[in-house]
Amino acid sequence: MLKNAAIIKKLTLEQKAALMSGQGEWKSYAVNNQVPAMFLSDGPLGLRKQSGAGDHLGLNGSEPATCFPSSATLANSWNLEVVEDVGQALGKEAQALDVHQVLGPGLNIKRNPLGGRNFEYYSEDPYLAGKLAGRVIRGIQANGTIATPKHFAVNSQETRRMASNSVVDERTLREIYLTNFEIAIQEGNPKSIMTSYNEVNGTYTNESHHLLQDILRQEFGFDGYVVTDWGGDNDHIAGIKNGSNLVMPGLKQPGAREVIAAVQEGRLDEAVLDQRVDELLNVVLSSNATKKNDAIKVDWDHQHQVAYQAALKSIVLLKNEADVLPLTQETRVALIGDFAANPRYQGAGSSLVNTKNLETLKDTAQAHGVTLAGYAQGYKRVGQSDPALIAEAKDLAIKSDVVVLNVGLNEVSESEGMDRKDMTMPANQVELIQELSQLDQKLVVVLSAGSPVEMPWLDRVDAVVHGYLGGEAGAGAMWEVLTGAYNPSGRLAETYPMSYADVPFGEEFPAHRRNSYYKESLFVGYRYYDKAQKAVRFPFGFGLSYTSFTYDNLSVNDQGVEVKVTNSGQVAGTETVQLYIGKAETNILRPAKELKGFAQVSLAPGESQQVKISFDDKTFRYFDVSSDTWQVEAGTYQIMIGKNVNDIILTADYQVEGQEVMAVQDEVFAKYQACDLQSISQNDFENYFNLEFKQNTMVKGQNLGYNDTLAEMINAKSWIARAVAKWLKNAIAKSEAKGKPDLNLLFNYNMPFRAMGKMTGGLIDQDMVTAILRIVNGHFWSGSSRLIKGYFRNQKRNKADTWYEEDK
Ligand code: BGC
Strand locations in 174-299 (E): 192-194, 199-200, 203-204, 225-227
Which atom of ligand 1 is found nearest the CA of 120? 9
Is residue 194 situated within a structural domain?
A: no
pLDDT-derived band at 760, boundaries 50, 70, 90: very high
Is residue 483 situated within a structural domain?
A: yes
Same domain for 492 and 567? no
Same domain for 436 and 494? yes
Smallest CA separation from ligand 1 atom 6, residue: 230
Domain boundary among 517, 539, 562: 517
Q: How far is the CA of 57 from the centre of ligand 1 (A)?
A: 8
Is residue 443 situated within a structural domain?
A: yes
Ligand 1 pocket, CB under 6 A:
42-43, 56, 103, 150, 229-230, 350
Probe target for ligand 1 pocket from 48, 196, 350, with the most ligand atoms within 8 Å of CB: 350
Tens digits of per-residue pLDDT, 348-368? 888 889 999 999 999 999 999
Q: How far is the CA of 229 from the centre of ligand 1 (A)?
A: 6
Per the CB < 8 A criterion, the answer to whether 179 and 215 are in contact is no
| 3-state secondary structure string across 507-545 | HHCCCCCCEEECCCCCCCCHHHHHHHCCCEEECCCCCEC
Same domain for 319 and 453? yes
pLDDT of residue 326: 98
Containing domain of residue 396, as a range? Answer: 300-517
pLDDT-derived band at 739, boundaries 50, 70, 90: confident
Q: What's the rounded Cα separation, in Å, for the pair 72 and 470?
A: 10
Domain boundary among 495, 517, 539: 517
- 617: burial class by Cβ within 10 Å (0-12, 13-18, 19+)? exposed
Q: How far is the CA of 350 from the centre of ligand 1 (A)?
A: 5
Q: What's the rounded Cα separation, in Å, for the pair 50 and 41?
A: 8
Is residue 75 situated within a structural domain?
A: no
Mean pLDDT of the region 155-166: 96
Same domain for 427 and 466? yes
Q: How far is the CA of 83 from the centre of ligand 1 (A)?
A: 21
Q: Across all residues in the chain, what is the average pLDDT?
A: 96
Per the CB < 8 A criterion, the answer to whether 769 and 723 are in contact is no
CATH number of the domain residue 582 falls in: 2.60.40.10
pTM for this entry = 0.97
Per the CB < 8 A criterion, the answer to whether 461 and 467 are in contact is no
Same domain for 714 and 636? no
Has residue 57 got a pLDDT over 70?
no
Smallest CA separation from ligand 1 atom 12, residue: 350
Smallest CA separation from ligand 1 atom 9, residue: 350
Has residue 383 got a pLDDT over 70?
yes
Q: How far is the CA of 644 from the centre of ligand 1 (A)?
A: 33
Probe target for ligand 1 pocket from 26, 41, 42, with the most ligand atoms within 8 Å of CB: 42
Has residue 59 got a pLDDT over 80?
no
Tens digits of per-residue pLDDT, 715-730? 999 999 999 999 999 9
Has residue 742 got a pLDDT over 90?
no
Per the CB < 8 A criterion, the answer to whether 136 and 83 are in contact is yes
pLDDT of residue 367: 96
Smallest CA separation from ligand 1 atom 3, residue: 350
Q: How far is the CA of 793 from the centre of ligand 1 (A)?
A: 31
Q: How many CB atoms lie within 10 A of CB 698?
A: 14
CATH number of the domain residue 478 falls in: 3.40.50.1700
Q: What's the rounded Cα separation, in Å, for the pair 427 and 335?
A: 20
Has residue 808 got a pLDDT over 80?
no
Tens digits of per-residue pLDDT, 170-204? 999 999 999 999 999 999 999 999 999 999 999 99
Looking at the 3D structure of the chain, how many domains does it have? 3
Tens digits of per-residue pLDDT, 256-311? 999 999 999 999 999 999 999 999 999 999 999 998 777 789 999 999 999 999 99
Smallest CA separation from ligand 1 atom 11, residue: 230
Q: Which residues contact 481 (CB under 8 A, 6 or more apart)?
A: 312, 315, 317, 325, 326, 465, 487, 488
Has residue 211 got a pLDDT over 70?
yes
Same domain for 495 and 428? yes
pLDDT-derived band at 54, boundaries 50, 70, 90: low
Same domain for 573 and 449? no
pLDDT of residue 33: 83
Per the CB < 8 A criterion, the answer to whether 71 and 107 are in contact is yes
Has residue 18 got a pLDDT over 90?
yes
Same domain for 772 and 629? no
Catalytic residue list: 229
Share of the chain above pLDDT 70, in %: 99
Q: What is the dihedral of CA 230, 232, 236, 237, to 10 degrees?
A: -130
pLDDT of residue 56: 67
Has residue 371 got a pLDDT over 70?
yes
Q: How far is the CA of 81 from the centre of ligand 1 (A)?
A: 27
Domain boundary among 644, 663, 682: 663
Same domain for 337 and 407? yes
Which atom of ligand 1 is found nearest the CA of 42? 10
Give Cα 580 distance to the centre of its chain: 24
Q: What's the rounded Cα separation, in Å, for the pair 113 and 118?
A: 7
Smallest CA separation from ligand 1 atom 7, residue: 230
Tens digits of per-residue pLDDT, 645-701? 999 999 999 999 999 999 999 999 999 999 999 999 999 999 999 998 988 888 899
Which atom of ligand 1 is found nearest the CA of 161? 8
Has residue 248 got a pLDDT over 90?
yes
pLDDT of residue 51: 72
Tens digits of per-residue pLDDT, 607-649? 999 999 999 999 999 999 999 999 999 999 999 999 999 999 9
Is residue 522 situated within a structural domain?
A: no
Is residue 778 situated within a structural domain?
A: yes
pLDDT of residue 695: 87
Helix (H) or strand (E) holding 402: strand 402-408
pLDDT-derived band at 551, boundaries 50, 70, 90: very high
Same domain for 575 and 648? yes
pLDDT of residue 159: 95
Is residue 459 situated within a structural domain?
A: yes
**Range scoring the smallest mean pLDDT among 413-422, 449-458, 483-492, 639-648:** 413-422
Same domain for 502 and 380? yes
Tens digits of per-residue pLDDT, 317-332? 999 998 999 999 899 9
**Range scoring the smallest mean pLDDT among 108-112, 221-225, 254-258, 409-413:** 409-413
Q: Which residues of 167-194 are buried (b: 16+ CB within 10 A; e: fewer)?
A: bbbbbbbbbbbbbbbbbbbbbbbbbbbb
Same domain for 398 and 457? yes
Q: Which residues contact 317 (CB under 8 A, 6 or more apart)?
A: 325, 463, 464, 465, 466, 481, 488, 490, 543, 544, 545, 546
pLDDT of residue 305: 98
Q: What's the rounded Cα separation, in Å, for the pair 587 and 633?
A: 8
Which atom of ligand 1 is found nearest the CA of 56? 12
Smallest CA separation from ligand 1 atom 8, residue: 229
Per the CB < 8 A criterion, the answer to whether 491 and 314 are in contact is no
Q: Determine how β-strand 203-204 pairs with β-strand 199-200.
A: antiparallel
Is residue 356 situated within a structural domain?
A: yes
pLDDT of residue 53: 65
Which stretches within 601-681 are classed as H helix? 667-673
pLDDT of residue 58: 61
pLDDT of residue 736: 84
Q: Which residues pair with 594 in a beta bridge?
A: 581
Phi, psi values for residue 706, rounded to 5°: -55, -35
Which stretches within 113-174 are classed as H helix? 126-141, 170-172
